[in-house]
A and B are shown apart, each in its own frame.
Chain A
Amino acid sequence: MTNPWVVYLLVPMVKIVVILGAITLAAAYLSYFERRLVGFLQIRLGPNRVGWQGVLQPIADALKLFSKEDIIPTRAEKLVYLSGPVLIIVPALVVFSVIPFGPPTNLFGLLPQAIPPYLTDINVSVLFVLGVSSFGIYGIILGGWASNNKFSLMGGLRSAAQLISYEVPMGFAIVAVLLMAGSLSLVSIVEAQRQAHVWYVFPGFVAFFIYFICGVAETNRNPFDLPEAEAELVAGFHTEYSGMKFAFYFLAEYANMVVVSSMATVLFFGGWLRPFPSWGWLGFLDVVPPVVWFLAKVAAFLYCYIWFRGTFPRVRFDQLMALGWKVFLPVSLANLMVIGTLIVLFGGGR
């Protein structure tokens, strides 16, 4: 394993292919679980015809979308219109290059030495995730504008205002974690939680609450899905997109949900650590591989997403703005000051 071709080309390539494939598949199947779960929440069945209990439904949907007629509106700005789906799907997938799925592993002895299952760990991972995922908004706002449709434009503008507003309290909530962890690297944040013997959700539950609500808003999901409010805006920014171009918007939304859930897991719920990593008598839980713990936590957050969709009514736009600027922003700032003060008083001079 010292051959540079293997270390710098083959291993990263394999990881990239595996991660991209897994995320795309996960996003597709998330749509299946969403339809089934919302079906159960609304006391109906949901898709259950294609394959056993409908498990092949996402495959059938993908085939349908691939084979659909691809319409470009005649009055659209063609180049910008076509770049919209690209601009939204690329950031959504690129973010996964720094998400730490687990500690270095040798895959039960299959590999000669342990390699980390994540693609890379950079010392500004948190900012990388925030920066790259804030880029997805271009797909929405440009797609909405280039469609040359008033509903699309309204959806794009709403989305821009919403994302900018909720990025601010979300950032402050994350800063609270950074203060506790003392690092911007996601891997170090997980390790810091192991050393602190506590998941950061316990000292930072206010930050977690704000982070997750803002995450729901950032991904344009219920109850904050105003950019695509079908009762007012047809389908919002992707009204004029059809076939695979629509599928990219769809896929990106679900991939972004996985990103927010993964970040919540890493920042607040100890990443790949088992529950209560310092309690020795819970050691039997180590039988479960760390990656499975990570995926289970992410799945729990994704379930919450779908649960919200089945439960809450959509907020009004003025309520959305008031909540972001008048509630979350001051609360997240106050929380930051409280946590900073506590760290100065009891944190032991880092």
Chain B
Amino acid sequence: MDWMVAHFAELVFFYLAGIAVIGAACVLIFRSPINAALALLCTFLAIAGLFVLAHAELLAAVQVLVYAGGIMVLFLFAIMLVNVRVLPEQPQFMRKLLPFVVPAAGALAALLLVAIWGVGHLPLGDLAALTSVEGVAAGNTEAVSWSLFMQYLLPFEVVSIVLLVAIIGAIVLGRKETPGEGA
């Protein structure tokens, strides 16, 4: 029992991390796009749980709100509009791409090794910055908004302009040219 209490956070971490990894693998394995989308949803939720474990409550809430509640719904919306019940029978494995498997797997393995090496060798970020504003203890929300709107205001605004460009681009591409309304 004492062991359980002492290692509770680690147990939860491995549980959530397992769900995240298995869900990510299932996204690739499942043939039905709906099932793959649901597996992705599980991954998103598990990652939100990991954020909570790391004391980033705001990030967890935003993860659920934006990714699980918004983006995945739009994914499902798009998937349902195509006739998915036919797709899974069609061949999905492209033999032409077989020679590229080895370099791709090698690159992934190298990335993984770098990540594992980095855990032990790279310095950790300032964990206190998650819950403090200029050294004063505050909530995670306050800390995030402080760095977003004070420290990193310019990059934040630049990103919002990039997103605006993307939105306008999508509207221009998606708009149907109707005669009489053009230009």
Given A77-B34, A128-B61, CB of A123 within 8 Å of CB of B68: no
Cβ B77 vs Cβ A141 within 8 A = yes
- Cβ of A130: which chain B residues have Cβ within 8 Å of it? 65, 69
Q: Which one of A132-140, A267-275, A308-316 is at the B interface?
A: A132-140
Residues in B whose Cβ lies below 8 Å from that of A160? 73-74, 76-77
Q: How far is the CA of A163 from the CA of B77 in the complex (A)?
A: 12
CB neighbours of A331 from chain B (8 A): none
When chains A and B are docked, how far (Å) is the Cα of A138 from the Cα of B44? Answer: 14
Q: Which of B166-181 contact A (CB under 8 A)?
A: none
- Return A233 CB to nearest CB of chain B, in Å: 15
| Chain B residues whose C-beta falls within 8 Å of the C-beta of A148 in the assembled complex | 85
**A89 CB within 8 Å of chain B:** no
A131 contacts the other chain (Cβ, under 8 Å)? yes
Q: Which residue of A lies closest to B41 (CB)?
A: A138
Chain B residues lying within 8 Å of A145, measured Cβ to Cβ, are 34, 76, 80
> Which one, B60, B68, B76, contacts A135 given CB within 8 A?
B68
A interface residues (Cβ-Cβ under 8 A, vs B) = 77, 80, 122-124, 127-128, 130-132, 134-135, 137-138, 141-142, 145, 148, 153, 156-157, 160-161, 163-164, 167, 184
8 closest pairs, A vs B, by CB? A134-B69, A127-B61, A131-B64, A131-B65, A124-B61, A123-B139, A124-B57, A160-B77
Tell me, rounded to whole Å, the shortest Cβ–Cβ distance linking A158 to chain B. Answer: 11
B132 at the interface (CB under 8 A from A): no
Beta-carbon contact of A134 and B70 below 8 Å: yes
A123 with B76: in contact, given A134-B69, A135-B68 (CB under 8 Å)? no
Q: Which residues in B have their C-beta under 8 angstroms from that of A156?
A: 80
Contact A153 B80 (CB under 8 A): yes
Chain B residues in the interface with A (C-beta under 8 A): 34-35, 38, 41, 57-58, 60-62, 64-65, 68-70, 73-74, 76-77, 80-81, 85, 139-141
Given contacts A123-B139, A142-B76, A153-B80, 4 further A-B contacts (CB under 8 A): A124-B61, A132-B64, A160-B74, A167-B70
Contact at A164–B141, with CB atoms within 8 Å? no
Task: Give Cα A124–Cα B61 distance, bound, in whole angstroms.
Answer: 7
8 contacts across the A-B interface (CB closer than 8 A): A131-B68, A134-B69, A135-B64, A138-B41, A141-B77, A157-B77, A163-B73, A167-B70
CB distance from B174 to the nearest CB of A (A): 15
Cα distance, A151 to B157, chains bound together (Å): 44
Min C-beta distance of A137 to chain B, whole Å: 6
A127 to B139, CA, bound (A): 14
The distance in angstroms between the C-alpha atoms of A128 and B68, with both chains bound, is: 12
A123 touches B77 (CB 8 A): no
Q: Is the CB of A157 within 8 A of B80?
A: yes
State how many angstroms separate the Cβ of A102 from the closest Cβ of chain B: 24
- Cross-chain contact A134 with B65 (CB below 8 angstroms): yes
- Residues of B near A134 (CB, < 8 A) are 65, 68-70, 73
How far in angstroms is the closest Cβ of chain A from B107?
35
CB neighbours of B68 from chain A (8 A): 131, 134-135
B23 to nearest A CB, angstroms? 15
When distances are taken between beta carbons in the complex, the residues of chain A under 8 Å from B70 are: 134, 164, 167
Closest to A80 in B: B34
Asked if B57 and A122 make an inter-chain contact with CB atoms under 8 angstroms apart, the answer reads yes
Closest to B57 in A: A124
Given contacts A122-B57, A157-B80, A135 and B62 within 8 Å (CB-CB) = no
- Among residues of A, the one whose C-beta sits closest to the C-beta of B76 is A141
Q: Which residues of A contact B64 (CB under 8 A)?
A: 131-132, 135
**A127: B residues at CB distance < 8 A:** 58, 61-62, 65
Q: Which A residues are in CB contact (< 8 Å) with B38?
A: 80, 142
B165 vs chain A, min Cβ distance (A)? 20
Give Cα distance in the complex from A142 to B61, angstroms.
Answer: 23
